[in-house]
Structure 1
Amino acid sequence: MSVARAQRLALLDRFPAAEVAAESAAWLVRRAPAYADRDEDSLRRELLAVIGPALTALRAGTELSASEIGRCEEFGALRAAQGIALEPLLEAFRATTRRAFDALYATVRGEGGATGPAGPADAVVALELTSAFWACCDTVSLAVVRGHRAHEAERVRADQEHRTLLLRQLLHGELSADWVPTAATVLGLDLRAEYRVCYAVPAPGRDVAELERALRPHLVAHLTEPGARRLVGLAADPPRDTAGLPVGVGPPRPPSRLHESLAAARRGSELAVAFGLARSVSGDELPLHSAVLGRPETGAVLAARCFGHTEGARRTTLMTTLDAYLAADGNAEEAAAALFVHPNTLRYRLRSFTAATGLDPSRTEDLVTVWWALRHAEATGGPT
């Protein structure tokens, strides 16, 4: 064994680890509010569990092993589990490190320094040991912080999963009356208040993230479901601005009856997406549109009657013409202007449609047939 290594081991043998842990534990209990209710003896043992691996690495002249770093991470996770925030944890680490360095410095001075009996090599050994000490402290602190943050992240994730589960059960009416107040407290809901369920599915080519950005300012709680192609949340008031996105909104209900609002919000969302309505839609707002969605077989029959005699571009032109005519409440001039065609061109298209189908959009019954067929085509992805 070299002289320098022998001197290094001799210094570390004299390092008062137990004394440093005891002094640090006593200081933390007396001076650090986050540790005021902690047992001093337990705290001393926990500090020793961190100091021990550091001393082992210093004695070997190596970096901390993976298992030693793991124990430091476990220490950080333990503090997080005990409810000690990161800042108080770092304050305690700094206080312990200062005492450890003071003890190391006193040990070196006790050996006599460069003029002591061990000879001139003592100064070099002391400097190398001090440098290794600080490097080891950095490694330990990073591991402790990493363990603390990992535990906090896991706790936040678990809390979020718990909130998501409670909200999902509340929305589906799966909680007993005894559990509703607990769920409301966890979710920050007022049992005396009423909330509207907002249910949104992105339109083709749009993203759920857009929905979340648009609706989050209006929501008091919402489901966080990774990978879900929908957004479900609660709002105290109906969202006025949905950033041009389709959103179903249910009627106001207390926390115990949110499942009623959810059913209506889902219907509103189906209507908004199916008919390209870039706004908030309530479940009972468009009863005729709901009927179109609920009777697809009827829509298919009517669409075949209205448009079955055409295909391709001619079918698209016919549907666009009829849709504009209905939107203009039967005003040929207004419909022609919307389509950028001459009114006579539009009238010719309507006469051709009547000749081919026997349907006259100026008659009420035939107009309803055409409207239903157009809405069915719209809801099923056809051109309008």
Structure 2
Amino acid sequence: MDKNEDSGSPEQRGPVLARMRLDEVAAGAAAAVVRDIPAYRDRTEAAVRTELAALLGPAVEALRDGREPEPGEVAAFEEFGALRAEQGIGLEPLQEAFRLTTRRAFDALYAAARTGTPPAVALELTRDFWAYCDLVSTAVVRGHRTHELERAQAEQEHRTLLLRQLLMGELPPEWLAAAATALGLDRNREYLVLYARPPAGRTVAEVERTLRGHAVALLAEPGADRVVGLAARRPLPSLDLPVGLGPTRPLARLHESLVAARRAARLATAFALDRCVADGELPLHGAVLALPETGAQLVERCFGHTSGARRTTLAHTLDAYLAADGNAEQAGAELFVHPNTLRYRLRAFGAATGLDPARTEDALTVWWALRHLEATGERD
């Protein structure tokens, strides 16, 4: 918007702009804004008129000098947009109010330039007017959006803090009602806690996306490498993710559900169970984790005579056989081997260890050894 020699000097532009009567433009625009835009209905015409006059004043000075807004003026326009956001006026009604005001200002400029104004000056004033309006509009919108983003971030941080305090049992009882409202929870309802850590190759963000459709509130913590959430009911089994579930508890006792969900998640992760696991659902798996020395002894008992690829093959064979409840045909199909091949492996295992996985006690010994290998990452 740099002024050239044909655009008129401040002395030529000044009289035209003075005839615009900014006070009348601001008053007329304020009345229309309050009357026609619902978001402004609770504002007074006087307040809106003062705001618009403050916006139009620097614009007229810049038009008189044929210059772009100065840094201080741009900051003031951004603050204008931020203040509208703080007042609860959305971006769309703010832009509509701006368009309504600029149309009235242009009409006033056009009327003022029709009398005794050189055509070149009038033309350049018109061009500069719209260019300046674009610059002002950009600054106002930027200020509004920045404030909205900062407010959204602050609100999200507040909700995150409330959810963390709720889960940890650190929220004062008198804050429960306000916290429930902020988090969109029913204070009189019980919820269960979901607890998940990202498996190898997956991120906290991916886990959060997976759980989002099953939770009413989520707390993703990349630093702690976990996602914790609240659910109104047990999620569907098709999560394809190890997730621990705590028991349902009222809001004031969610920390109890968190402890249980963390414990269940440890089991689900240790044994690569890509599904929801409720606390107490797998007591034998919990015993395997709690008794690592016993597991190591049973591994030696079952697999001490093998190593490397032979141990891996034997472990897969025994696991498939146990999973098939001792059905050699079904286990062989799972492993893509002939049932007789599988039976041969089982006989060789029995000869080396004296164990028969068809017997209940020996089957439990083998199962425990397999789970210990799984939990310690020594299986494959």
Please give the TM-score of this superposition, normalised by the length of structure 2. 0.89
Q: 1:311 Cα shift?
A: 1.8
Q: Residue type matched to 1:163 in 2?
A: R
**1:28 counterpart = 2:28:** no
**1:160 counterpart = 2:156:** yes
Q: 1:176 Cα shift?
A: 1.8
Question: How far does the alpha carbon of each residue in 1:115-138 deviate from its partner, in whole angstroms, 9 at most, with x for none?
Answer: xxxxxxx11110110011011111
**1:381 counterpart = 2:377:** yes
Structure 2 gap ranges (5+): none
Aligned residues: CA RMSD: 2.5
Q: Quote the Cα distance in structure 2 between the aligned partners of 1:184 and 1:213.
A: 23
Task: Give SS of 1:178's match.
Answer: helix
Q: 1:91 Cα shift?
A: 2.0
Match of 1:9 among 3, 8, 14: 14
Q: Quote the Cα distance in structure 2 between the aligned partners of 1:51 and 1:10.
A: 16
Question: How far does the alpha carbon of each residue in 1:171-214 deviate from its partner, in whole angstroms, 9 at most, with x for none?
Answer: 11111221111111111211221212222223222344443343
* Structure 2 match to 1:116: none
* Structure 1 match to 2:262: 266
Question: How far does the alpha carbon of each residue in 1:238-282 deviate from its partner, in whole angstroms, 9 at most, with x for none?
Answer: 111434222222222221221222222222222222222222211
Conserved 8 A contact 1:29-1:40: yes
Conserved 8 A contact 2:194-2:245: yes
Matches within 5 A, 1:167-246: 167-225=163-221, 229-246=225-242
Q: Quote the Cα distance in structure 2 between the aligned partners of 1:45 and 1:292.
A: 74
**1:72 counterpart = 2:77:** yes
Conserved 8 A contact 1:215-1:242: no
Q: Residue type matched to 2:245 in 1?
A: V
* Structure 1 match to 2:288: 292
Q: Quote the Cα distance in structure 2 between the aligned partners of 1:58 and 1:181.
A: 54
Q: Quote the Cα distance in structure 2 between the aligned partners of 1:125 and 1:228.
A: 65
Match of 2:116 among 108, 112, 119: 112
Q: Quote the Cα distance in structure 1 between the aligned partners of 2:61 and 2:226.
A: 54
Kindly tell me: are residues 332 and 30 of structure 1, through their superposed partners in 2, closer, same or farther at Cα, counting changes over 3 Å?
Answer: closer
Q: 1:229 Cα shift?
A: 3.4
Kindly tell me: are residues 128 and 228 of structure 1, through their superposed partners in 2, closer, same or farther at Cα, counting changes over 3 Å?
Answer: farther
**1:125 counterpart = 2:121:** yes
* Structure 2 match to 1:56: 61
| Runs of 4+ residues over 4 Å off in structure 1 | 224-228
Match of 1:150 among 146, 152, 176: 146
Structure 1 gap ranges (5+): 114-121
Conserved 8 A contact 1:267-1:282: no
